Amino acid sequence: GENVEQHPSTLSVQEGDSAVIKCTYSDSASNYFPWYKQELGKGPQLIIDIRSNVGEKKDQRIAVTLNKTAKHFSLHITETQPEDSAVYFCAAFSGAGSYQLTFGKGTKLSVIP
């Protein structure tokens, strides 16, 4: 089955700096890669996603890049703000076999004012 590795597990940045979280996946058939943000006491919320036919996608301060050859994808947050502090999860959807989302272990991002 699919295996998703996520790094780093914790990340601290100064307000205004950029943050980058990286994930690798194992199943070359995976074709959908969402990123979720989970704040304390809440469920994960989708913040951006990318499909395998696209290399990069941006939404304001958030961007995701995908390298299918290397089987890795990354989340980039620019001009970080204190409200960006949360746990971020990457996931990969395999279109073959299990048809499930496989999640990374999460990255706890702290933005220091």
Partner 1 sequence: ETGVTQTPRHLVMGMTNKKSLKCEQHLGHNAMYWYKQSAKKPLELMFVYNFKEQTENNSVPSRFSPECPNSSHLFLHLHTLQPEDSALYLCASSPSEGRADTQYFGPGTRLTVL
Residues at the interface with partner 1 (CB under 8 A)? 4, 31-32, 34, 36, 41-46, 49, 51, 89, 93, 95, 99-106
Closest to partner 1 by CB, 17 or 39: 39
CA 65/CA 44 separation, integer angstroms: 20
User: CB of residue 46 vs partner 1: minimum separation in angstroms?
Assistant: 5
Amino acid of residue 73:
F
Q: Report how far residue 28's alpha carbon sits from residue 5's, in angstroms, rounded to the nearest whole number.
A: 14
CB neighbour class for 93 (10 Å; exposed up to 12, middle 13-18, buried from 19): buried
Give min distance, CB of 91 to partner 1, in A.
8
Report how far Cα 98 is from the mean position of its chain's Cα atoms.
21
CB of 59 to partner 1, least distance (A): 14
**Residue 16 or 95 with smaller CB distance to partner 1:** 95
